[in-house]
Amino acid sequence: MVGDPPALLSTEEFDSLREVGKGDAQGDIPQMHWERLVVLGYALRRLGTLGLTESGRRRLAIGNDQARSNIAR
């Protein structure tokens, strides 16, 4: 939903999201990370590669620390 706060990601998961956004080094992303990113709607797996969704782009834009502080309020 639009008003829902972003899901908390570990530092490592957020780093993986950042790697997906770069479009390279996807083989280095742990399987549990990309599975969670797909489940959360931040990434989409097509033809063996990951791509960011609009939600994933927004999540990268707000950053991990900003998301944590928004949830703490």
The answer to whether the pTM exceeds 0.75 is yes
- Residue 4: inside a domain: no
pLDDT at 50: 87
pLDDT at 41: 94
Provide the domain count of the chain.
1
Q: Could you tell me the CATH number of the domain that includes residue 16?
A: 1.10.10
Please write the tens of the pLDDT for every residue from 3-54.
566 678 999 999 999 999 987 656 678 999 989 999 999 999 888 788 999 9
With 0-12 CB in 10 A as exposed, 13-18 as middle and 19+ as buried, what is 56? buried
- Residue 53: inside a domain: yes
Q: What angle do CA 18, 56, 7 make, to 5 degrees?
A: 95
Domain that holds residue 52: 11-72
CB 13 within 8 A of CB 33: yes
Please write the tens of the pLDDT for every residue from 12-23.
999 999 999 987
